[in-house]
Structure 1
Amino acid sequence: ELHTALTALAEGRDHPALTTGPTRTTTGPTPWALILSGQGSQRPGMGHHLYTTHPAYAHALDEACEALNPHLDTPLQHIMFAQPGTPHANLLNTTLYTQPALFAHHIATYHLLQTHGATPHALIGHSIGELSAAHLNGTLPLTLAADIVTTRAKLLNTLPTGTTMLATLTDPHTLTPHLQHHPDIEIAAYNSPTATTLAGPTTTLNQLATELTTAGIHNRPLKVTHAFHSTHTEPILNTFHTHLTELFKHHTPTTHTPTIPVISNLTGTPATPQQHHDPTYWTQHIRQPVHFHQGITHLTHTHHITLYTEIAPHPTLTPHLPPHTHTTPHHPNPQHTHTTTLTT
Structure 2
Amino acid sequence: MPETEAVPGPSAPAGPRPVALLLPGQGAQHAAMATGLYGWEPVFTEAMDTVFDALGAVGPQLRDDWLAERPQVPLDHVTRAQPLLFAVDHALARTVLAWGLAPVALLGHSVGELAAGVLAGVLDVRDAAVVLWDRAERLAALPPGGMLAVAAGAAELAPFLREDVVVGAVNAPRQTMLAGSARPLAAVAADLRAAHYTCREVRATTAFHSPAVGAAVNSEVYAGVRLGAPRTPLWSAYSTAPLTPELAVDPDFWARHPVDPVLFGPALDGLLGSGDFFLLETGPGQSLAGLARRHARVRCGASAVTALLPAAPRGPEADREALLAAAARLRAEGHPLPGLAAG
TM above 0.5: yes
Corresponding residue of 1:167: 149
Within a 5 Å distance, the mapping from 1:65-144 to structure 2 comes to 65-67=52-54, 69-70=55-56, 72=58, 74-83=60-69, 86-88=70-72, 90-144=73-127
The alignment-based identity, stated in percent, is: 30
Within a 5 Å distance, the mapping from 1:317-332 to structure 2 comes to 317-326=288-297
Residue 71 of structure 1: how far off its partner (Å): 6.3
1:262-281 CA-partner distances (Å, limit 9, x unpaired): 11122110113442332111
Corresponding residue of 1:264: 236
TM-score (norm 1): 0.80
Corresponding residue of 1:11: none
Residue 100 of structure 1: SS of its match in structure 2? helix
Corresponding residue of 1:341: 306
Amino acid at match of 2:212: H
1:179-229 CA-partner distances (Å, limit 9, x unpaired): 2xx243100001111100001122222222222223232110111111111
Within the alignment, does 1:151 sit opposite 2:131 as a pair?
Answer: no
Residue 326 of structure 1: how far off its partner (Å): 4.1
**1:324/1:156 CA distance change after superposition, 3 Å:** closer
- Please, which runs of 5 or more residues in structure 1 have no aligned partner? 1-20, 328-334
Residue 36 of structure 1: how far off its partner (Å): 0.7
Within the alignment, does 1:55 sit opposite 2:35 as a pair?
Answer: no
Amino acid at match of 1:48: T
Residue 285 of structure 1: SS of its match in structure 2? coil
Amino acid at match of 1:241: S
Residue among 224, 227, 232 paired with 2:212: 232
Aligned mates of 1:107, 1:49 — CA distance in 2: 16
Corresponding residue of 1:64: 51
- Please, which runs of 5 or more residues in structure 2 have no aligned partner? 1-7, 310-343
Within a 5 Å distance, the mapping from 1:205-216 to structure 2 comes to 205-216=185-196
Amino acid at match of 1:144: D
Aligned mates of 1:174, 1:32 — CA distance in 2: 35
Residue 101 of structure 1: how far off its partner (Å): 0.8
Q: How many residues align?
A: 301
Corresponding residue of 2:203: 223
The answer to whether the 8 Å contact 1:65/1:77 transfers is: yes
The answer to whether the 8 Å contact 2:151/2:176 transfers is: yes
Residue 158 of structure 1: how far off its partner (Å): 1.3
**1:104/1:149 CA distance change after superposition, 3 Å:** same
Aligned mates of 2:59, 2:91 — CA distance in 1: 21
TM-score (norm 2): 0.81
Corresponding residue of 1:185: 165
Within the alignment, does 1:289 sit opposite 2:261 as a pair?
Answer: yes
Residue among 35, 38, 42 paired with 2:22: 35
The answer to whether the 8 Å contact 1:326/1:337 transfers is: yes
Within the alignment, does 1:313 sit opposite 2:296 as a pair?
Answer: no
The answer to whether the 8 Å contact 1:71/1:150 transfers is: no
Corresponding residue of 2:184: 204
The answer to whether the 8 Å contact 1:323/1:339 transfers is: no
